Amino acid sequence: MGAAAGRRGELLSFTVRVIRGRWFSLFASFLIMAGAGATYLFGVYSKEIKATLGYDQTTLNLLGFFKDLGANVGVLSGLIAEVTPTWFVLLIGSAMNFTGYFMIWLAVTGKISRPAVWQMCIYICIGANSQNFANTGALVTSVKNFPESRGIMLGLLKGFTGLSGAILTQIYLAVYGNDSKALILLIAWLPAALSVVFVYTIREMKVVRQTNELKIFYHFLYVSIVLALFIMVMTVVQKLVAFSQAAYAGSATVVCALLFVPLFIAIREESTLWSRNKQPHINPPQVTIDKPAEIGPKNFKPEPEMAEEGSKSCLANIFKKPERGEDYTILQALLSTDMLILFLATFCGLGSSLTAVDNLGQIGESLGYPTKTIKSFVSLLSIWNYFGRIFSGFVSETLLAKYKFPRPLMMTIVLFLSCIGLLLIAFPFQGSVYVASVIIGFSFGAQLPLIFAIISELFGLKYYSTLFNCGQLASPLGSYILNVKVTGPLYDREALRELAKKGMTRSSVKELTCIGTRCYRLAFVILASITFFGAVSSLILVARTREFYKGDIYKKFRDEADETEAEMALPISKE
C-alpha cells in the first residue's frame, strides 16, 4: 500500500516536473505558433469578403493592409511583455484573436448589419494583431530559454506558424466542409483556445545547457518535416480526388496526431533528466573545487557597472552605443545604422512578399484557375513558407557555427530568390503560378527567422520582446505602399479598361474583376525591382557586420550557462 502511494506520489511529481519544464513549454509554444498563422489564409477567405460585402480590389487590398498592419505592429505586445508576466500577454492575445475574427465572421454571414469599411479594417487589424501576443509570449520566451540555439529555435517556431495556414485548412475541411465562411469562425476560436489552455506553462526559465540539445531539436525538425510532407501530399490528393467528410476527418486526425508527437519527445527528455537528478553520485558534476572561486568575482562584478549605468541619463547614452552583440537599449537599437538598413531591407522584401501573398487568390482568378486550384496555391505557399523558415533557421545556424557565414548574407540571397518568384507572376506561362507560389512562399518564410535572429545577435536579448516587434514595423508600411497604393490601383485600372472595352462602367457591376495576364504585370515588375533594391541594401549590412560574425557571438551565453551549472552543482560538490 505504502509502495503504491509512493509510486503515485513519484508519478505526480514527475508529471508536475514535465508540465513546468523547458521542453513542455517548448511543445506548448509549437502548438500556439501552429495556430498563429491565420493571416496567411487571407487569400482563401478574402474572396468571400469581397463577394459578400461588394468590395472592389482596392478596398480589399486596404483590408489586406490593415491585416498586415495588425500582424506586424507588435510594439504594444513587446512593451506589455516587458512589464507583465507571459500568461497575461497570452490571454490578451487570445481575447483579441476571438473578438476580431468573430466579428468578421458575423459580418460575412450576415448575422449583423453590414459594417462600414473602417469597421472591417479595425476588426481584421485586432484579429491579426493577436498573433504578435502569441509571438511575444511563445517565441521570445523560447529564444530566451534556448539562447545558443536561437536560429534553430526561430526556424522551428516560425516554421510551425508557416504551416499554420495548411493545418487550419485541413481542420476546417474536416469540421465544416468546403465552406470558406466557416474557416473565419475556426480561426476565431481555435488559436484563442490554444493560448488559454497553455497560458501557465510558457514562461522564462533559468538556462541550463544540455549536451544533446541540438540532437533533440533535430528530432523536432524531423517531426515537423513529416507533418509538412503529409499536408503537401494531402493537398495534392484533395485536388485530384473528391474527398468525403470522413476522408477529410481522417486527414485532420493524422495532422493533429503529428502535432502531438513533440509532447512525447518532451516527456522523454524530462524523464532522462529526472533519472539523472535522482542519481547524482553516478554522474558527478564536472566542476572542480576552485571553480566557485572563479565564479565569485564575476557574480559581484556587474553590480557597480549597473549602478554606474543607472546614474546616467537614458537619453545621454542614445548615441553612445555598446559593441554589437551587447544589450542595446530600445532607443539605441532603433536609432542605429544597422537597424535602419535592416528596416529598409525588410520594407522591400517583406512588403513585396506580403503583397504577393495577399493577392494570390486574385492572381489565380485573373489567370483563369478554378477556385479549388487557387486554394492549392495558398496551401503550397503555406507549406513552402514553412520550408523557408526551417531552412533559414537550421541552415543559417549551421553555416554560422561551422563557417562563420553571416546571417545578413543569407538574407541577401533570399531576397534575390524572391525577385524570381515575383517575375514569374509578372510574366506568367503554363503552370508558372505553381512555381511562383513555391518560390515566394519559401523566400517569404526564410526572411522572418533571419530578421529576428539578426536583431537578437546585433542588439542583445535584454529588450528583445520590444526590439523584434519594432524590427518588423517596416513590413506593414511596405505592404500599405506596395499593396494598397501600387498593386490595387493598377489592378483596378486594368479591370476598368476591360469594362470600357465591353461598353460598361463601374456602376454596372457589383464586383470589379480583371481577367488576363496584364492584370498584375506592371505591379509585379515594380515589386521585383523594389525587392532587388532591398537585396542590394542588405549587402551593406553584410559589409558592416562581417567582423562581428567572424567572432564567437555566443560566448557570453555559454559563460552564463556554465556559471548556472556550477552554482547548481556547488551544494553537491561540498557533500
The closest alpha carbon to 31, from 252, 276, 262, belongs to: 262
Contact (CB, 8 A) for 131 and 38: yes
The closest alpha carbon to 442, from 469, 424, 415, belongs to: 415
CA–chain centroid gap for 371, Å, is 27
The Cα diameter of the chain in Å comes to 94
Q: Can you tell me which residue has the cell 535522482? A: 278
Contact (CB, 8 A) for 457 and 407: yes
Contact (CB, 8 A) for 383 and 235: yes
Question: What span, in angstroms and rounded, lies between the C-alpha atoms of 412 and 410?
Answer: 5
The closest alpha carbon to 292, from 574, 2, 1, 575, belongs to: 574
Give the DSSP H/E element, type plus range, for residue 385: helix 371-403
Q: Which parts of 109-179 fold into alpha helices (H)?
A: 117-134, 141-145, 150-176
pLDDT of residue 416: 96
Contact (CB, 8 A) for 64 and 41: no
Rama region for 503: left / alpha / beta (φ>0; ψ in -120 to 50; rest) = left
pLDDT of residue 557: 66
Burial 320-339 (b: 16+ CB within 10 A, else e): ebeebbeebbbebbbebebb
User: What is the value of pTM for the model shown?
Assistant: 0.76
What is the dihedral angle through the alpha carbons of 365, 367, 371, 376, rounded to the nearest 10 degrees? -120
Both ends of the chain: CA-CA distance in Å? Answer: 34
447: amino acid identity, one letter:
Q
Question: What span, in angstroms and rounded, lies between the C-alpha atoms of 485 and 504?
Answer: 25
The closest alpha carbon to 450, from 529, 379, 535, 382, belongs to: 535
Question: What span, in angstroms and rounded, lies between the C-alpha atoms of 453 and 397?
Answer: 10
- Which 3-state string (H, E, C) describes 544-571? HHHHHHHCCCCHHHHHHHHHHHHHHHHH
Low-confidence stretches of the chain (pLDDT < 70) are: 1-3, 6, 209, 278-316, 510, 556-575
What is the dihedral angle through the alpha carbons of 38, 39, 41, 43, rounded to the nearest 10 degrees? 170
pLDDT of residue 298: 37
C-alpha cell belonging to residue 311: 546614474
